[in-house]
Amino acid sequence: MPPGASASLWHPEAVSTLNPSLQISPEGKLLHLLTTEGLPAATLLQILDTARSFVSVTEREIKKVPLLRGKAIFNLFFEPSTRTRTTFEIAAKRLSADVVNLNIATSSQTKGETLLDTVANLTAMHADMFIVRHSESGAAHLIARNVGPDIHVINAGDGRHAHPTQALLDMFTIRHYKGGFNDLRVAIVGDVLHSRVARSEIHALTTLGVPEVRVIGPRTLLPRHVQNLGVHVFHDMEAGLKDVDVVMMLRLQQERMSGALLPSAGEFFKSYGLTPAKLARAKPDAIVMHPGPMNRGVEIDSAVADGGQSVILPQVTFGIAVRMAVMGILVGN
Amino acid sequence: MTLPDAEALIGKLAEQIRREAGPGVALVGIYTGGVWIAERLHRMLALSTPIGTIDVAFYRDDYKKTGLRPGVRPSDIPFPVENADIIVVDDVLYTGRTIRAALNEIFDYGRPTCVRLAALVDRGGRQLPICAQFVGAAVSVAIDQTIELRRDASGRFSLALAS
C-alpha cells in the first residue's frame, strides 16, 4: 500500500477499531486473520502453499486429516450467509475439529446480550476459535482484542471493511490458473465502494506483486481517492478490460439498486455487466471470477458465468482448502 | 565418526528389495530425503507403478508444539492404495513417529494389502514399535546430532552430520 493510504480512505468511522498489527505476533506468527491489509507477502504465500496441500487431501477417499482433533470452532454469524458459513464448517470438519454454528441474529443478541458477553460465554465453553461475520466493520477485531492468548479469530466478513479468506481464495485461484502474480493485469469490476471483498483483494494483489490492478465502475460505486491504494481507475468497461489477465466481478447488492446510487439493474448491466462481447476485450486466456452469490443479468451474463473462461465454481472448491490452511496455521500458532 | 557412503547404501537397498519384493510393488517416499531415494530406487528397479510422495505435516503428533511449518508439500499417491503392496521409503529411521504419521496418511487413501519400510540408515532410538524390513546400514550417533541426506547438483547422494 502506498504511504498515506489507510483504512480511513474507505470508511473514516471504522478506523479507530482497526489495528492490523493485532493479527501478527512480535515473532511474526499469525494469531488471527482479520484483514489482508498489512499482512506480509511471506504470510500470504505460506497460506497459499499450505492450501495447495489441502487440495490434495480433498481428492482422497477419506477427505479428512486429524490436525484439529479435539478443537472446538464456533461459527459466529451475526449476519446471514449460508454459503460462507458452510465452507468454513466443511473446512473445520475436514480438519477433524468440532464445529458449532450460531446464528446470533436469532439468538441472545436479540435478548440484549452484548457481543463481548456472547464471546465470554462461548469462551467459558472452551472455544479454540471464533469465525465471525458481522455487519459492523471492526467486529472481529473487537473480539480478537478481548479473547485469551490461545483463542484465534477469523474475520469472515465485517461490514464494508474486510473479507480476508475470500481474498485469499481468490489469490489461490489466480495462482492456480496463472502460475503467479508478477506479470498480471487484474481488473476488479462493479460495486467497489460497498465491497469488503474488493478491499481485501486490492491489499492482497498489491502485496503479492501484481503490477497492475484496475478498478472499474460508475463514479457512484467507487470510493473517492481509491487510486491512492495503488490501483488504476476506469469508468468505461471496454477500456478497463483491455488486455487484462483476470476479471474479478463483484456482487451488486440488491439494496443499492433501490437507492440513489444507480438508475436500475438493467442500466447497470448495460454499462458494467460482463457479457461475452465485453470479455472479448480481455486477453483470450483471461479468467473470470466472482465471489458469489451471482446476480445473473445484473453484473454478469449467464453466457460468461457458465462459459469456458469462468472459474467461479473452482473458486468455491479452493475456498475450502484455503480455509483449512488458515485454520491449521492459526491453531498451530 | 564416519558415515557410510549413501550411494553404496542405496545399491544395497535396491538389492534387498529386488530379492524380496514382486514387480508390482509400489514405493511411497516421505519428503524430502525419502522421495529422493524412492525416485532413485524406482529407476534402478525399473518398477512400473508410479511413486507416491507424502508430506506427513497434517498427521504429525507434535503439531501442538510446533504448529504448521511453512513449506508443506502436497501429498500425491497416483496409484490405487486399496489392495496395493507398498514400501514406504525414508532416509533416516529414528523415533518411528514420522513412519506412524505416514501409515495413518496412507490408510486415508485406502487399505493396502501390505506395507513395508525401507530406510537408508537406521539410527536406533525408537519410541514406537516400528521396524524397517529393508535397511542400508545401522549407525550410531550422539543424541543431539542429526543425520542429513544431501543431493548434489549431479544427483549424487551423501550423508552428513549436523547438530
Q: Are the CB atoms for A105 and A79 separated by under 8 Å?
A: yes
Measure in Å the smallest separation between the Cα of B59 and chain A Cα atoms. 6
Confidence of residue A136 (pLDDT cuts 50, 70, 90): confident
**Chain A residue closest in CA terms to B65:** A332
The confidence score (pLDDT) of residue A14 equals 45
Mean pLDDT across A241-262: 84
Give the mutation candidate from B68, B73, B75, B79 for the A interface (greatest A CB count, under 10 A): B68
Residue B119 to residue B128: CA distance in whole angstroms: 16
Q: Is the pLDDT of residue B60 over 80?
A: yes
**Chain A residue closest in CA terms to B55:** A53
Residue B72 grid coordinates: 508443506
Give the mutation candidate from A54, A56, A71 for the B interface (greatest B CB count, under 10 A): A56
Q: What are the angstrom distances between the C-alpha of A10 and each of A29, A249, A278?
A: 27, 19, 29
Contact yes or no for A332 and B66 at CB 8 A: yes
Q: Omega before B32 cis (within 30°)?
A: yes
Q: What angle do CA A216, A274, A86 make, to 5 degrees?
A: 95
Q: Are the CB atoms for A196 and A162 separated by under 8 Å?
A: yes
| Residue A313 CB partners (closer than 8 Å, separation 6+) | none
Please name which of A177, A132, A169 lies closest in space to residue A47, comparing C-alpha atoms: A169
Confidence of residue A256 (pLDDT cuts 50, 70, 90): low
The packing angle between helices A196-207 and A41-57, to 10°, is: 110
Confidence of residue A111 (pLDDT cuts 50, 70, 90): low
Measure in Å the smallest separation between the Cα of A285 and chain B Cα atoms. 27
The confidence score (pLDDT) of residue A323 equals 98
Chain B residues in contact with A71 by the CB 8 A cut-off are: none
Q: Where are the alpha helices (DSSP H) in B45-143?
A: 63-66, 97-107
Residues of B contacting chain A (CB within 8 angstroms): 55, 57-59, 63-64, 66-68, 70-77, 81, 104-105, 108-110
Confidence of residue A117 (pLDDT cuts 50, 70, 90): confident
CA A50 to chain centre: 18
Across chain A, mean pLDDT equals: 89
The radius of gyration of chain A from alpha carbons, rounded to an integer in Å, stands at 19
Measure in Å the smallest separation between the Cα of B104 and chain A Cα atoms. 9
How many helices and strands (H and E) does chain A possess?
12, 9
pLDDT, tens digit, for every residue of A275-303? Answer: 999 999 999 999 999 999 999 999 999 99
Residue A88 to residue B74: CA distance in whole angstroms: 21
Q: Which residue has the cell 548434489?
A: B152
Measure in Å the smallest separation between the Cα of B15 and chain A Cα atoms. 33
Residue A93 grid coordinates: 470438519
The confidence score (pLDDT) of residue B44 equals 96
Q: How much is the ipTM here?
A: 0.87
Residue A65 to residue A94: CA distance in whole angstroms: 6
Residue A174 to residue B87: CA distance in whole angstroms: 37
Confidence of residue A112 (pLDDT cuts 50, 70, 90): low
Q: Are the CB atoms for A294 and A305 separated by under 8 Å?
A: yes
Nearest to A53 among B67, B73, B104 (CB): B73
Q: Which residues of A171-191 are buried (b: 16+ CB within 10 A; e: fewer)?
A: bbbbbbbbeebeebbbbbbbb
Give the mutation candidate from B28, B60, B83, B108 for the A interface (greatest A CB count, under 10 A): B108
Contact yes or no for B70 and A46 at CB 8 A: yes
Write the single-letter amino acid at A79: E
Chain B residues in contact with A97 by the CB 8 A cut-off are: none
Chain A residues in contact with B59 by the CB 8 A cut-off are: 65-67
Nearest to A329 among B68, B76, B77 (CB): B68
Contact yes or no for A66 and B104 at CB 8 A: yes
Instruction: Specify the DSSP element, H or E, that contains B116.
Output: strand B114-122
Contact yes or no for B75 and A52 at CB 8 A: no
The confidence score (pLDDT) of residue A110 equals 59
Residue A36 to residue A16: CA distance in whole angstroms: 17
Chain B residues in contact with A332 by the CB 8 A cut-off are: 63-64, 66-68
Contact yes or no for A332 and B63 at CB 8 A: yes
Q: What is the pTM of this model?
A: 0.91
Nearest to B72 among A49, A60, A331 (CB): A49
| Residue A293 CB partners (closer than 8 Å, separation 6+) | A83, A251
Chain A residues in contact with B77 by the CB 8 A cut-off are: 60
Please name which of A110, A109, A135, A134 lies closest in space to residue A122, comparing C-alpha atoms: A109
Chain A residues in contact with B58 by the CB 8 A cut-off are: 53-54, 57, 65-67, 328
| Residue B25 CB partners (closer than 8 Å, separation 6+) | B17, B47, B49, B85, B86, B87
Nearest to A332 among B67, B77, B104 (CB): B67
Contact yes or no for B55 and A62 at CB 8 A: no
**Chain B residue closest in CA terms to A94:** B58
Measure in Å the smallest separation between the Cα of B61 and chain A Cα atoms. 9
pLDDT, tens digit, for every residue of A196-249? Answer: 999 999 999 999 999 999 999 999 999 988 989 899 999 999 999 999 999 999
Cβ contacts from A onto B, under 8 A: 56
The confidence score (pLDDT) of residue A5 equals 38
CA A126 to chain centre: 27
Contact yes or no for B74 and A56 at CB 8 A: yes
CA B1 to chain centre: 23
Q: Is the pLDDT of residue A102 over 90?
A: no
Beta-strand relationship, A287-289 and A246-249: parallel
